[in-house]
Amino acid sequence: MDEEIKNTEPELDELGVCQKERDEYLAGWRRAKADLANFKKEEMERVQKMVKMGNENIVRDVVAILDSFDLGITATGAESAAGKGMMLIKTQLEDALKRHGLQPIRAEKGTMFDPTHHEALGEIESELPDGVVVEEIERGYSLNERVIRPVRVIVSKAKQSK
Amino acid sequence: MAKILGIDLGTTNSAMAVMEGGEPKILENHEGNRTTPSIVAMSKANERLIGLLAKRQAVVNPKNTIYSVKRLIGRKFKDAEVQRDRALFPFEVRESVQGGIEVKMGETWNSPEVISSMILQKLKADAEAKLGETIDEAVITVPAYFDDSQRQATKNAGEIAGFKVRRIVNEPTAAAFAYGMNRMKNEKIAVYDFGGGTFDISVLEIGFDAESKEQTVEVKATGGDTHLGGDDFDKRIIDHLIAEYKKQEGVDVSKDPLAVQRLKEAAERAKHELSTAMESEINLPYITSDASGPKHFVMKLSRAKLESLVQDMIDHSIALVKEAVTAAAPKGAGLKIEDINEVLLVGGQTRMPAIQEAVKKLFGKEPHKGINPDEVVAVGAAVQAGILQGDVKDILLLDVTPLTLSIETLGGVATPMIQKNTTVPTAKTQVFSTAADNQTSVEVHIGQGERPLMADNKTLARFILDGIPPSPRGMPQVEVTFDIDANGILSVSAKDKASGKSQTVKIEASTSLNKEEIERLKQEAATHAAEDQKKREVIEIKNQAESLVYVAEKSLKDAGDKVTAELKDAITKKIERVKEVKDKDDAEVIKQATQELSTELQKIGEMMYKDTKPNPEAAGPQPEQPTQ
């Protein structure tokens, strides 16, 4: 009796091993299939994001040109013929970028400093409350709601005279 | 199965990655960036900020913005390094009750572990949002020179953040893993890590015990400069630009925040550009103005100039490498430079060609640099995580075909069926046709290699498929299928669609070329690329000539007496001319003769249009590439 059981044991074991292996392989296969399906979905998202990112890199470089226009218009005088021309070219460029999702981010004097859109370049003692924007140094931009350049500002510091 | 997050907790920036489908993948943070500044702050509005947001307000809130906390973690307050760094930090650092360290942020004193845990917590939350599942386990990297207490503190930081820290891995070891050097091999590896704020050199010895199948990674030596990094390079460039401008224009722009900001961005852009270009122009209109009016900033920066600005720092790093490799223990590994088998580049600054050159010159071998140097440590941490979670073992290791598998077509051209580096198992089917009228059999010639002509590739097998019903060239459809199974066994079958006749051959050793052979074939393909291209062009021209002759003869026959004898005569002459030259190797002559025939041939169409509708068969389509 004992022997019989012993004899059948290895067979059962072998079957058990096979079953275990089968389950493992099946699970592995399912996982691989699922991975592929997920990968495809992600890949689609990634491609879309790549397109956006590609735009982002271009726009990031181009906004530096918008800065130069701003400075140029200020230096030339917005009322002069050259200044007006420059202004028009700037508007044209800006409009083109707006169509692709570019939005300027401004920081009004007196608004609370907010690191989600602002970057502080320095601080200055002023009459304004502590921690509010005193001056906008460089305009910020967002592309399709994502900040590609924070607006650079100077922040007020409470006067030390106590 | 829950994923384990691989984290590179850096001094300036941190990054994270997970294994997905057997491949490591960098995860972006909430802001959409692949790296996160290792900065934590308590804002003036009493809000806790981590990463980019903390960085943006650092200048106006220096006392409550904690950065480089990695320089403090797990150390004693009395350590010389701590005392030196403390003088540089704008935030307050004091001794804790147990002789450790505490930093002040907002109203509270925190241990460096707690600060680090805040960064880890953000990474955890961002990773969970990205993956849509909770992550409870992590592998975190530390510099090779970290002692037990620093490692333990890093581990604690992970636990505070809510991770079960499965392993603390050395950064250079992670880098080696990322490059797949966790294979069964004994190797000595030098890892040159030039980050934003620190420079580390590590010498590793990977050992593999064939009997126990156990692998050991031993850190033989470490060295570096904890205050040397890419940020120093940026600063040198900006200082140079400002000084140069002052010399040229007599204006000091260093006090104008907008000018400095614009210069900073431009300098960074120029630095990146000079990794690929030899010269970069920095062009900033209206940078400033004086009594004479607006002034512009236009300056060229050459790669040579950039290199001369930072050469001393590069030299310094190389000297440190030499010391770490050659000095006797415990200062160095006590090895000879030529003992090093592999060199890895880590850290963003190693993109600079001058650094790559310097490292290459020192070791006399090309360093590994394929993986993004900012991400390689996090990638390696994910690989380690993958090994721990069993991913690497679990996932079937899929092979790729090392060389292109092709079939020979008219003119001895090797037409690729399965491109090299295709993951197997895979199959590809394509329909071919015959090259001559009434051809009743085709030879299927299967080859392997990157050369465009079959004669230059390795023949794997040939077989003949016969019994194709007689028909004009280009008509029969022979479907050829290449199928490689998971074991690399290639089966090729060819089937004539009309008769249903098919033939199959199995090639067992299609992917079992040895490494040298594969390399040789690839090398050959590269060296012969230009001449092969030319040969292939000649064959294509010949093939075109041949099919045009066929079309012309058929058109003449079909048109019958609808064309004048004169034209017939002219075309026949042109056909003879093409036939005469087509077997010679002068491409130009064949091209010209073909062109002339083609022009002449169009006259048939013109003539037939005059009196009747065109015969649809008169101008047969270009036959598909037929088999020989």
For residues B396-422, give the mean pLDDT.
80
Of the residues B102, B126, B171, B391, only one is catalytic, namely: B171
- CB-CB under 8 Å, A75 with B294: yes
Name the least confident of B32-36, B89-93, B561-565, B624-628: B624-628
- Most trustworthy range by pLDDT among A144-148, B28-32, B109-113: B109-113
**Distance (Å, rounded) from C-alpha A70 to C-alpha A68?**
5
Q: Is the pLDDT of residue B511 over 60?
A: no
Cβ contact B103:B112 at 8 Å: yes
- CB-CB under 8 Å, B396 with A36: no
Q: Is the pLDDT of residue A131 over 70?
A: yes
- Do A82 and A145 fall within a single domain? no
**Distance (Å, rounded) from C-alpha A87 to C-alpha B16?**
45
What mean pLDDT, rounded, does chain B reach?
A: 86
Residue B36 covered by a domain: yes
Residue B400 covered by a domain: no
**Burial of B512 by CB count in 10 Å (0-12 exposed, 13-18 middle, 19+ buried)?**
exposed
- Do A85 and A129 fall within a single domain? no
Residue B223 covered by a domain: yes
**Distance (Å, rounded) from C-alpha B44 to C-alpha B53?**
13
Residue A157 sits at the chain B interface (C-beta within 8 Å)? yes
Residue B615 has a pLDDT of 44
Residue B625 covered by a domain: no
Of the residues B113, B126, B193, B408, only one is catalytic, namely: B193
* Residue B297 φ then ψ, to 5°: -115, 110
Residues paired with residue B415 on neighbouring β-strands, in sequence order: B407
For residue B556, what are its two tokens? 């003449």
- Domain of residue B360 covers 189-227+314-372
Q: Is the pLDDT of residue B259 over 80?
A: yes
Identify whether B8 is a catalytic site residue.
yes
Q: Give the closest of A118, A137, A146 to B56, CB-based.
A: A118
| Residue where a domain stops, chosen among A100, A127, A143 | A100
- Do B519 and B537 fall within a single domain? no
- Do B299 and B324 fall within a single domain? no
- Do B42 and B138 fall within a single domain? yes
Cβ contact B199:B193 at 8 Å: yes
Cβ contact B322:B345 at 8 Å: no
Residue B610 has a pLDDT of 67
Name the least confident of B273-287, B462-476, B557-571: B557-571
Q: Other C-beta atoms within 10 Å of A136: how many?
A: 19
Residue B296 sits at the chain A interface (C-beta within 8 Å)? no
- Do A75 and A118 fall within a single domain? no
Q: Is the pLDDT of residue B616 over 80?
A: no
Residue B507 has a pLDDT of 78
* CATH (domain of A158): 2.30.22.10
Residue B377 covered by a domain: no
- Do A9 and A77 fall within a single domain? yes
At residue B387 the predicted structure's pLDDT band, cuts being 50, 70 and 90, is confident
Residue B466 has a pLDDT of 87
Residue B56 sits at the chain A interface (C-beta within 8 Å)? yes
- CB-CB under 8 Å, B293 with A118: no
- Do B359 and B473 fall within a single domain? no
For residues B326-345, give the mean pLDDT.
90
Q: Is the pLDDT of residue A69 over 80?
A: yes
Residue B607 has a pLDDT of 75
Q: Is the pLDDT of residue B334 over 60?
A: yes
Residue A25 has a pLDDT of 85
Give residues with Cβ within 8 angstroms of B178, minimum separation 6.
B24, B371, B376, B377, B379, B380, B383
**Distance (Å, rounded) from C-alpha B322 to C-alpha B312?**
15
Residue A21 has a pLDDT of 87
Residue B592 has a pLDDT of 87
Residue B474 has a pLDDT of 85
At residue B398 the predicted structure's pLDDT band, cuts being 50, 70 and 90, is low
Residue B28 has a pLDDT of 93
Cβ contact B377:B174 at 8 Å: yes
Cβ contact A132:A110 at 8 Å: yes
At residue B219 the predicted structure's pLDDT band, cuts being 50, 70 and 90, is confident
B254 contacts in A (CB within 8 Å)?
none
Residues paired with residue B626 on neighbouring β-strands, in sequence order: B433
Residue B54 vs residue B412, higher pLDDT: B54
* CATH (domain of B484): 2.60.34.10
Nearest to B408, CA basis, from B79, B628, B83, B102: B628
Q: Is the pLDDT of residue B9 over 90?
A: yes
Nearest to A70, CA basis, from A93, A95, A88, A87: A87
Residue A107 has a pLDDT of 92
- Do B167 and B199 fall within a single domain? no
- Do A49 and A88 fall within a single domain? yes
- Domain of residue A60 covers 1-100
Nearest chain B alpha carbon to A75:
B294
* CATH (domain of A16): 3.90.20
**ipTM more than 0.85?**
no
Residue B311 vs residue B559, higher pLDDT: B311
At residue B612 the predicted structure's pLDDT band, cuts being 50, 70 and 90, is low
- Do A66 and A15 fall within a single domain? yes
Name the least confident of A22-31, B57-66, B413-422, B509-518: B509-518
A61 contacts in B (CB within 8 Å)?
269
The DSSP letter of residue B114 is H
Q: Is the pLDDT of residue B566 over 70?
A: yes
Q: CA of B435 to nearest chain A CA: how many angstroms apart? A: 41
**How do residues B170-208 score in pLDDT, each as one tens digit?**
999 999 989 887 665 788 999 999 998 899 999 998 887
- Most trustworthy range by pLDDT among A47-51, A105-109, B408-412, B520-524: A105-109
Residue B6 vs residue B620, higher pLDDT: B6
Residue B214 has a pLDDT of 67
Nearest to B488, CA basis, from B431, B416, B405, B430: B405
At residue B326 the predicted structure's pLDDT band, cuts being 50, 70 and 90, is very high
- Do B280 and B319 fall within a single domain? no
Side chain identity at residue B615, one-letter code: N
**Distance (Å, rounded) from C-alpha B218 to C-alpha B207?**
8
**Distance (Å, rounded) from C-alpha A66 to C-alpha B151?**
49
At residue B455 the predicted structure's pLDDT band, cuts being 50, 70 and 90, is confident
The percent of residues in chain B predicted with pLDDT above 70, rounded, is: 92
- Do B298 and B354 fall within a single domain? no
Which residue, among B53, B56, B122, would best test binding to A if mutated, counting the most A CBs under 10 Å from its CB? B56
* CATH (domain of B219): 3.30.420.40
Residue B379 covered by a domain: no
Q: Is the pLDDT of residue B96 over 70?
A: yes
Q: Is the pLDDT of residue B316 over 70?
A: yes
Residue B397 covered by a domain: no
A148 contacts in B (CB within 8 Å)?
none
Residue B384 vs residue B527, higher pLDDT: B384
Identify whether B209 is a catalytic site residue.
no
Residues paired with residue B138 on neighbouring β-strands, in sequence order: B5, B165
The tally of domains found in chain A comes to 2
Residue A96 has a pLDDT of 93
Bond from prior residue into B330 cis (ω within 30 degrees of 0): yes
Q: Is the pLDDT of residue B397 over 50?
A: no
Residue B610 vs residue A97, higher pLDDT: A97
- Do A84 and A125 fall within a single domain? no
Q: Give the closest of A116, A123, A138 to B60, CB-based.
A: A123
**How do residues B468-478 score in pLDDT, each as one tens digit?**
888 888 889 99
Q: Is the pLDDT of residue B386 over 80?
A: yes
Q: Is the pLDDT of residue B306 over 90?
A: yes
Q: Is the pLDDT of residue B404 over 90?
A: no
Q: Is the pLDDT of residue B462 over 70?
A: yes
- Do B221 and B236 fall within a single domain? no
Residue B8 has a pLDDT of 97
What mean pLDDT, rounded, does chain A reach?
A: 85
- Do B361 and B474 fall within a single domain? no
- Do A126 and A146 fall within a single domain? yes
At residue B63 the predicted structure's pLDDT band, cuts being 50, 70 and 90, is very high
Please give the full DSSP string across B494-511, using - where no structure is assigned.
EEETTT--EEEEEETTTT
Q: Is the pLDDT of residue B514 over 80?
A: no
**What is the CA angle B279-B283-B286, rounded to 5?**
165
- Do B579 and B522 fall within a single domain? no
Side chain identity at residue B395, one-letter code: I
- Do A137 and A90 fall within a single domain? no
- CB-CB under 8 Å, A137 with B286: no
A132 contacts in B (CB within 8 Å)?
none
At residue B510 the predicted structure's pLDDT band, cuts being 50, 70 and 90, is very low
- CB-CB under 8 Å, B53 with A121: no
- Do B263 and B286 fall within a single domain? yes
- Do A79 and A108 fall within a single domain? no
| Residue where a domain stops, chosen among A74, A100, A126 | A100
At residue B426 the predicted structure's pLDDT band, cuts being 50, 70 and 90, is confident
Give residues with Cβ within 8 angstroms of A124, minimum separation 6.
A134, A135, A154, A155, A156, A157
Please give the full DSSP string across B8-23, using - where no structure is assigned.
E--SSEEEEEEEETTE
Of the residues B3, B55, B70, B122, only one is catalytic, namely: B70
Cβ contact B39:B89 at 8 Å: no
For residues B496-510, give the mean pLDDT.
81
Identify whether B193 is a catalytic site residue.
yes
The tally of domains found in chain B comes to 5
- Do A65 and A120 fall within a single domain? no
- Do B356 and B472 fall within a single domain? no
